[in-house]
Amino acid sequence: MFRRIGTAVVRHPVWTIVAWLIAAVAIVATAPSLPSNSDESSFLPKSYESIKAADLQQKAFPSAFTPSAIALYQRTDGGKLSQADLKDVARITTELGDKHIDQVQKVVPGPPSKDGRYTLTLVQMDSKKAGQPVQADAAKVLRDDVKQLAKGTDLEVKLGGSAAQALDQQDSSKRGEALIGIGTFVIILVTLLIIFRAPILAFLPLLLIGVVSAIANGLIAYATKLFGLQANSSVSSILIVVLFGVGTDYFLFLMFRYRERLRAGDEPKQAMINAVDRVGEAIASAAGAVIIAFLALVLSTLGFLKQMGPALAISVSVTLIAGLTLIPAVVSLIGPKVFWPSKSWQQEPANARFAALGRGVQRRPALTAAVSGLILLVLSLGTLGYKATFDLASGSMPKTKESMVVQDQMQTAYSAGAAAPTDVYLSSSDGKPLDRSAFDAYASKLGAVDGVASARMSQVNKAGTTADFTVTLKYEASTDKAIDAVGRVRDVAHADAPDGTEAVVGGMSSIYKDIDSAVNHDYRTVFPVAALLIMVILGLLLRSVVAPWYLIASVGLGFGATLGATVWIFQEAQNKPGLMFMLPVIMYLFVVAIGTDYNILMIARLREEAREGREPREAAGMALRHAGPTVAAAGFILAATFATMMLAGNALLTEMGFAVSFGIAVAAFVMAMFFTPSLTALIGHAAWWPGHADRAEPGVDAGSSPAADDEYQAAGRRG
């Protein structure tokens, strides 16, 4: 099949390129635009208690005051607020309300802090549009106006709250995307120039992947709108890296094999056909593993991951098609001039670095497997200390952003949970009015829960069937202590609800509690499904039942090593309370799926060498010699590309960038180069049971292999 694809593309390169350009223009011109949603509650399905509570609030208290923005005032000299200062705050609050800013429904004064150094203005916005860009725009106007109104006073004012956080997150994402894009471009360009010393070859993948990126983003927009998925700004940053990183990987897989066939004496067009034929199956299998692993995210209960899975799967699918059609078409048109001005493509380099590594694996496979396995195992021990944190807002932007400064100052000035109180909604189960005489006792029981600062009945709906009890926790909403405390609040709220009533618990801590449950569900569902499907792909590629087991086990070790190293560096060394809660899921899919690419490329080359008559150990050594440079180059570029995410300046992308780049480096330089080939050499022919995929083809021996032809041609030219 891949030979037929290569032949068709190389014979009709112009038509192939024209078809891609027409598709790009058509898709980009007609693709819908996507709003981004940063509301944490939108991540969860409606079956979770926190979402049921939010729905009940909308029905029972449609006009309930829930601040979307908070203006925090303090004196410029840091002293206590005077009566004149408080009059200025009252004036600012009134004038801010009189401006009738879009989305703003109510502006009211907030309580002063106990030490008298801070006070608040609370701003309510349309709850139906929480997390949407329109409220970030409103926050921008609010921030500018409140600072303008405070001019000429002794007050310093900062705007925080969820709408301001959405605004700061938006600005941070744009900056992060720009840095990631520039970093990715520079890394790919410089690395390809060093490897090939050919400017055309260095710029070519960037141009081609740019076309692929435009098409992929258009198709993602269609899919997101068609299936009603949630759009999220963090996905854009990840897409940049996936498209350019994976696209460059497939480009390198093809170009290294194309160069090898040219060195073996193939005519240029025939060399490209042979390259697609020989490496096409490995590229398709590698892409298939990635696509299936990403699609497994559809089983997630989190909206963020449900959106990410199809988006990344679409990106890799388009990249795969480009790797088998667009790239071969363009390169076949240019021919060997693509390597200009370098002449090194004409013969294999004299240095035998990878040949020496190959001989080492061939001679001592047991020692190689033991050392590389031990390294992975030791690093994996770090996973025992893993803890999750759920503060997406502070995780997705620097602590220096204004909304984050407000959040930190409010935790100091007020009760840590005051900025995001927990609400317990007590409803009549038979539709009759509630017995109000039981309210004080119920509030007392809620207030006595460990971790609760205060609890009071704040309002009852007009029908008298639902009461809202405001519970203020002692801890900031996203901390482990707050999540544990809200779990205890739920237990008491349910168990001690008066007869004929039922309770649901809402608020940010309740949402984080449910996100924690959802992530644990995903660990039990997404991980095994993705691993099983990748094993099926490996089994189909290798025609083996044995090899997929130790290959997926090695990748699992790589995942453990990556998470362990990330825990030690970010959680232990930097004394952080935990890693972002979604990191293990994302890491698993990137490290397991994309890391499998290198295992597939190496094992496919090992099988090819074995089919040409080599014994298992020799085949492993030759596979490392010839596939090693490809794996090293591709692994370095992809790891460095993901590392650019650390430039974004926020905890989520910094942790993700390190973890994925480290995991890919482990997959390429430990698993694919040493652990997998040495283990395969040790297991021998049994690795391919029940098939005989490694047995020599009839009439073929080691002397007729492409590698041997390569050596013969090179020797002839040197002679």
Q: How far apart are CA 179 and CA 657, in angstroms?
A: 13
Burial class (CB in 10 A: 0-12, 13-18, 19+), 719: exposed
Q: How far apart are CA 213 and CA 203, in angstroms?
A: 15
Q: How far apart are CA 381 and CA 376, in angstroms?
A: 9
CB atoms near residue 714 (< 10 Å):
17
Query: What local confidence, expressed as pLDDT, does residue 228 receive?
Result: 67
Structure confidence by residue, pLDDT tens digits, 400-411: 788 888 888 887
Place of tokens 């070519």: 204
Give the DSSP letter of residue 103: T
Query: What local confidence, expressed as pLDDT, does residue 561 receive?
Result: 93
Query: What local confidence, expressed as pLDDT, does residue 331 receive?
Result: 93
Structure confidence by residue, pLDDT tens digits, 170-202: 777 677 677 777 887 888 888 888 888 899 988
499 contacts: CB under 8 Å, gap ≥ 6: none
pLDDT averaged over the chain? 84
Structure confidence by residue, pLDDT tens digits, 637-672: 888 888 887 877 677 778 888 998 999 899 999 999
More confident residue, 37 or 183: 183
The token duo for 313 is 């799967």
Instruction: Name the maximum alpha-carbon separation found in the chain.
Output: 103
CB atoms near residue 87 (< 10 Å):
11
Beta strands in 40-81 (DSSP E): 67-75
Give yes or no for residue 623 having a pLDDT over 50.
Answer: yes
Lowest mean pLDDT among 415-419, 497-501, 697-701: 697-701
- Upstream peptide bond of 341 is cis (omega within 30 degrees of 0): yes
Give yes or no for residue 701 having a pLDDT over 50.
Answer: no
Residue pair 307/333 in contact by the 8 Å Cβ criterion: no
Query: What local confidence, expressed as pLDDT, does residue 544 receive?
Result: 87
Query: What local confidence, expressed as pLDDT, does residue 719 receive?
Result: 34
The token duo for 40 is 């944490």
Structure confidence by residue, pLDDT tens digits, 628-639: 888 898 888 888
Spell out a b/e string for 581-603, using b for 16 or more CB atoms within 10 Å of the CB, else e: bbbbbbbbbbbbbbbbbbbbbbb
Query: What local confidence, expressed as pLDDT, does residue 707 receive?
Result: 42
The distance of Cα 110 from the centroid of its chain, to the nearest Å, equals: 38
User: CA distances (Å), 380 to each of 191, 520, 555, 662, 663, in order?
Assistant: 30, 20, 12, 13, 12
Q: What is the pTM of this model?
A: 0.75
Give yes or no for residue 272 having a pLDDT over 60.
Answer: yes
Residues listed for the chain: 719
Mean pLDDT, residues 568-574: 88
More confident residue, 29 or 594: 29
CA atoms within 13 A on the CB side of 41: 22
Structure confidence by residue, pLDDT tens digits, 103-118: 888 899 988 988 899 9
Burial class (CB in 10 A: 0-12, 13-18, 19+), 573: exposed
Give the DSSP letter of residue 496: T
Give yes or no for residue 22 having a pLDDT over 70.
Answer: yes
Query: What local confidence, expressed as pLDDT, does residue 712 receive?
Result: 32
pLDDT band of 510, cuts 50, 70, 90: very high
Q: Identify how many contiguous H helices and E strands the chain contains and give both numbers.
A: 25, 10
pLDDT band of 233, cuts 50, 70, 90: low
What is the share, in percent, of the chain residues with pLDDT greater than 90?
A: 34
